[in-house]
Structure 1
Amino acid sequence: MDVLYFAWVRERIGIAREKVETQAATVSDLVAELRGREERYAAAFEDVSALRVALDQELADFDAALDGVREVAFFPPMTGG
């Protein structure tokens, strides 16, 4: 699946997107896999309460299933004004 990173998540990891082969069942499982890759991922996903996630461009929760999902995007909360 494609995994996209935005704003400070992208800055900490150092890339905007990547293809990820995973057996993760949920977003939380995917985050755990990514955290275990290396320090830059651990830093980006240190506090998931400061993150939002979208699955195939639809906002989702971290307990959402990944079955059939083609794209996961991680980004900080947005403010309007």
Structure 2
Amino acid sequence: MLAFAGARDVLGTSELLLPMDGKCTADELLTRVCQQFPRLEPYRRSIRVAVNGTYARSDDEVRPGDEVALIPPVAGG
């Protein structure tokens, strides 16, 4: 899993290996990450999940081996 901007700061790393037992939805995966890293929970509603380079809807399927990215909103100019 890749983490960008504020998500990277909260997780303390830009890459994280998250073992999966099987497929789940993007929302279930984000829930699991927030449970494992509670400091990420306040940002949960604004974080976008991308799977294999494409923004995922909350009910999109994530499979073992997929590249997942957590992308919070980025501001600046």
Q: TM-score range by the shorter chain?
A: 0.7 to 0.9
Q: CA deviation at 1:50?
A: 0.9
Q: TM (normalized to structure 1)?
A: 0.75
- Partner Cα distance (1:66, 1:59) in 2: 12
Where does residue 53 of structure 2 map in the other structure?
57
Q: CA deviation at 1:44?
A: 1.4
Which runs of at least 4 in structure 1 moved beyond 4 Å after TM superposition?
Answer: 78-81
Give the alignment's Cα RMSD to 1 decimal: 2.2
Where does residue 5 of structure 2 map in the other structure?
7
Structure 1 residue ranges without an equivalent (≥5): none
Preserved contact between residue 26 and residue 62 of structure 1 (Cα < 8 Å): yes
Identity %: 25
The structure richer in helix per residue is: 2
Structure 2 residue ranges without an equivalent (≥5): none
Q: TM (normalized to structure 2)?
A: 0.78
